[in-house]
Amino acid sequence: MASLDDLKKRITSVKSTQKITKAMKMVAAAKLRKAQESAEKGRPYSDKMHNIILNLSKNINDKENAPKLLAGSGKDNVHLCVVMTSDRGLCGGFNSNITKKAKSYFKKILDSGKELKIVTVGSKGFDQLKRAYKEHIIENISFKESKNVNYFDADKVGKMIIEKFEKGEFDVCTIFFNKFKNVITQIPQEQQIIPLKSEKSDDKNDVMNYEFEPEEDEILNNLLPKNISTQIFKAMLENSASEQGSRMSAMDNATRNAGEMVEKLTIEYNRSRQAAITKELIEIISGAESL
Amino acid sequence: MSDSFNLEIVNPEKLFLSLDNVSEVVVPAFEGDMGILKDHISIISFLKPGIVKVFKGNEVKELYVEDGIIEFSENSLSILTSRIIDIKEIKKDDLSSMINEANEVLKDENLDDQKRFIANQKIDVLNRLN
């Protein structure tokens, strides 16, 4: 059995850990609210963008000459995966969930004999993937310096992806991120952004007769790169809300576990102190009796 | 008011501006400025750097946009842009840093014509504001 002193030390150490996790939980809760707000505020832009693209692509008659970003390069040999994770740890299963999802996708691609290229956004994803997939990772981007998610960061990633696509470095691009459902649930998502997957909703009400100025193709050529950045921005917003939510619940659990541990240790401490007192008493009494 | 329509300006971060009863909006469309009044035909177009003018009642609001897409349908106009600033709130420092940014872009020799045009246009507009 550990000595009284050791127990005391352990109790203090667990208590100070608890203080840290509690503080982290509070910080995460405050940040979560902000992240959630900006995720909601960002929605109109991406929704509108999506609608316009839908309208435009329905108006394109000549499918074969459609912009490559929409139709793809016609091949499907090289896959680019953009894995978006956080830059900081201590957020429960947040990063592992994304990488797990991504890894199963990687496996599928490699098994079917296709080439795989990986871009990681956020240093935690890079750390988790570099051991198994080092030779596939072509780029690692991290935005540790920017405090909040902003569009210009997303735009940088988007432009880089488009540049690589135009050089013919890959045929299909998929992004991985966590979709924020609520504080306890975040759903890892994979979303194909190049070529753009047209959704199945064929609502006839959506199709309107628009006038285009300049031509449809030209607008699409201008719009599609922006859409990529927008999608990435959306993923980043969702990700940051998820990260904070995940961290909050992880820290909440940690605080609770620390509380339980302190309780258990305190009982053990009291018991052994009582045992020591009893032992001393017995010694005194038996000493007195022997006289 | 019967001669008015709705206007929504969104940037990636948030809904920047939402106005009812707008009587006219002039946007710097890619092929020239375009004034939009009520019952304009449904149109999708994209913008070059320039000034968006919003007329509401007797007020005129002027906003600098860097790029964007406009969509007009059923008397509601949406402008999607990645950077938009109210001219009244624009600062001298920001202006010069934006001009420098555009000049940086122009230094690239492999720039295609469209991008060069956009950067030149941007400098033009910003200098006028300065």
> Given its phi and psi angles, is residue A2 left (phi above 0), alpha (psi -120 to 50 degrees) or beta?
beta
pLDDT of residue A275: 94
Most confident of A73-87, A186-200, A211-225: A73-87
Interchain pair B82, A48: CB under 8 A:
no
By Cβ distance, the residue of B11, B15, B43 closest to A213 is B43
Q: Which domains does chain A have, with CATH numbers?
A: 4-22+251-289 (1.10.287.80), 36-249 (3.40.1380.10)
Q: What is the CA radius of gyration of chain A?
A: 28
Topology, domain B5-86: ATP Synthase; domain 1 (2.60.15)
pLDDT in tens, A123-180: 888 998 988 888 888 888 888 877 778 888 888 888 899 888 888 888 889 999 998 8
SS3 readout for B21-64: EECEEEEEECCEEEEECCCCCCEEEEECCEEEEEEECCEEEEEE
Spatial neighbors of A5 by CB under 8 A, at least 6 apart, are none
pLDDT of residue A260: 96
B75 close to A (CB below 8 A): no
Interchain pair A213, B31: CB under 8 A:
yes
Residues of A with CB below 8 A from B34's CB? 213
By Cβ distance, the residue of B29, B34, B42 closest to A209 is B42
pLDDT band at A207 (very low <50, low <70, confident <90, very high): low
Model confidence, pTM: 0.84
By Cβ distance, the residue of B15, B41, B46 closest to A41 is B15
pLDDT of residue A139: 85
pLDDT of residue A31: 92
Whether residue B54 contacts residue B63, with contact meaning beta carbons closer than 8 Å, is answered with yes
User: Domain residues of chain B, as ranges?
Assistant: 5-86, 91-129
By Cβ distance, the residue of A55, A213, A233 closest to B45 is A213
Interchain pair B13, A56: CB under 8 A:
no
A34 close to B (CB below 8 A): no
Weakest mean pLDDT among A17-21, A79-83, A137-141, B124-128 = B124-128
A213 close to B (CB below 8 A): yes
Whether residue A124 contacts residue A85, with contact meaning beta carbons closer than 8 Å, is answered with yes
A49 close to B (CB below 8 A): yes
End-to-end CA distance of chain B: give it in Å, rounded: 36
Using CA coordinates, name the residue in chain A closest to B74.
A208
pLDDT of residue A255: 96
pLDDT of residue B87: 82
pLDDT of residue A8: 93
Whether residue A164 contacts residue A234, with contact meaning beta carbons closer than 8 Å, is answered with no
Residues of B with CB below 8 A from A222's CB? 46, 69
By Cβ distance, the residue of B12, B46, B78 closest to A42 is B12
Residues of B with CB below 8 A from A206's CB? none
Take residue B88 and report the two structure tokens written for it.
């009244």
Candidates A192, A174, A157, A185; CA nearest to A241 is A185
CA distance B30 to chain A (A): 8
Spatial neighbors of A164 by CB under 8 A, at least 6 apart, are A80, A170
pLDDT in tens, B90-117: 777 878 888 888 888 777 777 777 777 8
Pinpoint the alpha helices (H) of A62-204: 68-71, 94-111, 123-133, 151-166
**pLDDT reading at B1 higher than 60:** no
pLDDT of residue A107: 92
**pLDDT reading at B130 higher than 80:** no
pLDDT of residue B121: 82
pLDDT of residue A249: 92
CA distance A219 to chain B (A): 7
Using CA coordinates, name the residue in chain A closest to B40.
A211
pLDDT of residue A205: 52
